[in-house]
């Protein structure tokens, strides 16, 4: 039934004995110039009070970091604002947390790529999804963008 479609195809891959990983590698080698960075990293900030994002592969809880919500002049701002970012990032706890998180992700992202994952969604959660999670998601995004990865950033609950 599909013979007419097969005749018009530019490529024909026999997948009879291929694993999903092998098929992915074959397709990537055919169509991507650089397959070494063939993973898209999505960093999604969110608020735990609105639920965990079901599409996340990894969830990091940053509610242990200093909370700008309790500082009157920062409460109505977000992690997109420099004052909030500076407040969150100036603490020793945040510096150490971020260092350890980056080490873990620097180690594990290539392993996900090696296993054939084409997208990795990292959820970064705080209480409301406006301050700490946004700040940390932006730091992760900048770090991996600088390393040459394709990165996407989403702030799910920033406007709630």
Establish if 31 belongs to a structural domain: no
Is residue 19 situated within a structural domain?
Answer: no
Tell me if 22 is assigned to some domain. Answer: no
Judge whether 12 lies within some domain. no
Give the model confidence (pLDDT) of 50-108 as tens digits.
999 999 999 999 999 999 999 999 999 999 999 999 999 999 999 999 999 999 999 99
63: containing domain: 39-155
d(CA 16, CA 92): 54
- Decide if 105 is inside a domain: yes
Q: What is the pLDDT of residues 140-150, one digit of tens each?
A: 999 999 999 99
- Tell me the C-alpha distance between 23 and 46, whole Å: 34
Residue 6 lies in a domain: no
Confidence band (pLDDT; 50, 70, 90) for 11?
A: confident
Query: Would residue 11 count as lying in a domain?
Result: no
Q: How far apart are CA 29 and CA 16, in angstroms?
A: 19
Domain count for the chain, please give it: 1
């Amino acid at each position: 039934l599909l013979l007419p479609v097969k005749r018009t195809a530019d490529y024909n891959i026999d997948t009879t004995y291929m694993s999903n990983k092998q098929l992915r590698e074959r397709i990537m080698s055919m169509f991507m110039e650089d397959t070494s960075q063939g993973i898209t990293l999505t960093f999604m900030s969110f608020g735990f009070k609105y639920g965990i994002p079901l599409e996340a592969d990894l969830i990091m809880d940053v509610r242990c970091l200093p909370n700008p919500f309790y500082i009157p002049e920062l409460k109505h701002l977000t992690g997109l604002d420099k004052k909030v970012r500076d407040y969150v990032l100036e603490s020793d706890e945040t510096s150490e947390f971020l260092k350890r998180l980056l080490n873990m992700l620097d180690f594990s992202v290539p392993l996900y790529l090696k296993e054939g994952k084409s997208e990795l969604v990292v959820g970064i959660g705080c209480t409301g999804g406006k301050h700490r999670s946004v700040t940390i998601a932006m730091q992760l995004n900048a770090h991996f963008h600088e390393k040459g990865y394709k990165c996407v950033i989403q702030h799910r609950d920033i406007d709630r």
